[in-house]
Amino acid sequence: MSRSAHPAGPRHADVLPDPPPAPPQADANALDPAIWPVTACRDGGVLHLGGAAVPDLVGRHGTPALFLDEADLRARARAFATAAAGVDVFYAGKAFLCTTVATWVAQEGLGLDVCTGGELAVARAAGFPPERIALHGNNKAVGELQHAVLAGVGRVVLDSFEEIRRAADVASAAGIRQPVLVRVTVGVEAHTHEFIATAHEDQKFGFSLRDGAAEEAVAAVLDSPALELAGLHSHIGSQIFDTAGFEVAAGRVVSLAARIRDLHGIEIPEIDLGGGFGIAYVAGDDPEPPRQTVERLVGIVAQECARAGLPVPRIAIEPGRAIVGPAMVTVYEVGTVKPVELDHGMVRTYVSVDGGMSDNIRTALYDAQYTCVLAGRESDAAAVLCRVVGKHCESGDIVVRDAWLPGDVRPGDLLAVAATGAYCRSMASNYNHVPRPPVVAVRDGADTVILRRETVEDLLRLDAGVDRG
């Protein structure tokens, strides 16, 4: 059943008891290490992140705010980068990107995926080594291609025949031979523990393997003197907990590589298997550690290449969420607490916080689930079923759909929501003219603003009718 949030979408009355909320965990104050950043702990009942007490952080930075555990992010990045030889790891900037994070992932030895001129501008402002940058996207503007080619990005992932021609023209005009990957639509789609494999795929990305478009695209690249075929790319889904889908995808990509060898007498230097590696949002989510995922993928490609009689190429992967997702925590202040009696006698306690769908659209957009705790204190009060909602004028403005919080939750409490590093701040809006929250890095007790809080003045900056005299 859809739980779409709104207008002409399903009514909220329809979407109530499905699925039944998970039972409360034994201790509403506990911090599940699978979900919270590595430095998260309670000291004197108070949540600490990066060695700093959250109430102190809030005293300096206000609420809502996102706190980024530098040690957690760097450890995950390093785990991917060092898991296996012959694997290139590109951080997927779309999950969250600013110059500081770009610098950290560069220091940890990763490359960077960008998919627009804007993301490329951030990478350039960070001084990211261009040869370790990949440009993605299904509809790159000519200006974006020019920007990337002239900057010397290491690879451009090509997505359509128009784009092959455009990239060839741009590289040719620049007098550059541009390494490119061909994005292949392999007919595999994976989420959590499931995947499906079909012949055709109803989506915008890539060249279909089945209808011959992928083979044709490779031929077109090989025919373009200004383009260098650096590899094949596929991407099968997101929030994936199991590598079975990658087996099918890798098998199909390797088959294509074998046909290319037979047709053109060349070996594909690299196979990029994309990203989509899952993280834990709520109890029961069971992602593999990065090292294990990488080892499995290396094994899969080696096995498929052996079967096809091909030497094993370099492998590339593109984790975004799996690096930044668990490293951030959003802290809100509770403004109102409202117990609402429901038709079937149950009571749901609505806990309103000072942010909402403008800083985290994932709950409304993807029915995403989150875990939250009181950050400023512990409580022995029995847990009650809560819905954490934002301050926006919309009934679908939900941050955590089902949360068991201590029954004495009250206005003024600080509430911390875990695993908000990916696709929260990066998709944030100014809906209701709410300024976007800052991102503050925490490490060894020190806190550093890496994205400052927006102000109302920032919001008015675009308004042509505002008197700036």
What are the two backbone dihedrals, phi and then psi, of residue 50, each rounded to the nearest 5 degrees? 55, 30
State phi, psi for 216 to the nearest 5 degrees: -65, -40
Q: Could you tell me the smallest distance in angstroms from the CB atom of residue 161 to its own copies?
A: 8
Of 51-59, 83-91, 298-306, 451-459, the window that binds its own copies (rule: CB under 8 A) is 451-459
Ranges within 247-286 binding its own copies (CB under 8 A): 278
Of 49, 122, 180, 250, which lies in the binding site for its own copies, with binding defined by CB under 8 A?
Answer: 122
Select 361 or 384, whichever has its Cβ closest to its own copies.
361
Q: In this chain, which stretch among 43-51, 65-73, 309-317, 392-400 interacts with its own copies, using CB under 8 A?
A: 392-400
Q: Does 463 bind its own copies (CB under 8 A)?
A: yes
Figure out which of the listed residues 131, 162, 223, 444 binds its own copies, where binding follows CB under 8 A.
162
Torsion of CA 395, 363, 442, 133, to 10 degrees: -130
The tally of CA atoms less than 13 A away on the side-chain side of residue 382 is: 2
**Buried b or exposed e, range 34-46, using 16+ CB within 10 angstroms:** bbbbbbbebeeeb
Task: Rule CB under 8 A: choose which of 22, 30, 141, 263 binds its own copies.
Answer: 141
CB nearer to its own copies: pick between 132 and 436: 436
Taking CB under 8 A as the rule, which mask of x and - marks residues 46-85 in contact with its own copies?
A: ----------------------------------------
Q: How far apart are CA 305 and CA 209, in angstroms?
A: 18
Active site residue: 41, 305, 386, 393, which one? 393
CA 181, CA 302: separation in Å to the nearest integer?
20
Amino acid at 338: K
CA–CA distance from 236 to each of 130, 199, 246, 275, 378 (Å)?
26, 13, 7, 8, 41
Q: How far is the CB of 283 from its own copies (least distance, A)?
A: 15
Active site residue 393: yes
The residue from 50, 179, 237, 313 that contacts its own copies (CB under 8 A) is: 237
In the numeric block, which tokens belong to residue 392? 């926006």
C-beta of 251 vs 278, nearer to its own copies: 278
In this structure, the chain runs to a length of: 469
Q: Which is nearer to its own copies, 30 or 342 (CB)?
A: 342
How many CA within 13 A on the CB side of residue 411? Answer: 4
Interface map 167-206 toward its own copies (x if CB under 8 A): ----------------------x-xx-x-x-xxxxxxxx-
Tell whether residue 215 is a contact of its own copies (CB under 8 A).
no
What letter represents residue 465's amino acid?
A: G
Identify residues 335-364 at the interface with its own copies (CB under 8 A): 335-338, 340-343, 348, 350, 352-354, 361-362, 364
Q: Work out whether 291 is an interface residue with its own copies (CB under 8 A).
A: no
Q: Using the rule CB under 8 A, which residue among 72, 163, 215, 304 binds its own copies?
A: 163
DSSP track, 20-34: PPPPPPS-TT---TT
Closer residue to its own copies, CB minimum distance, 36 or 205? 205
Half-sphere exposure of 287 (CA within 13 A, CB side): 26
For strands 207-208 and 314-317, give the pairing. unpaired
Q: Could you say whether residue 18 binds its own copies (CB under 8 A)?
A: no
**Which of residues 13 and 26 has its CB atom nearest to its own copies in the complex?**
13
Shortest Cβ distance from residue 298 to its own copies (Å)?
A: 25
Nearer CB in complex with its own copies: 187/406? 187
Among 139, 177, 225, 380, binds its own copies (CB under 8 A): 139
* 6 near its own copies, judged by CB under 8 A: yes
| E strand or H helix at 260 | helix 244-264
Give Cα 82 distance to the centre of its chain.
21
For the four alpha carbons of 366, 367, 373 and 374, in that order, the dihedral sign comes to positive
Q: State the catalytic residues.
A: 393
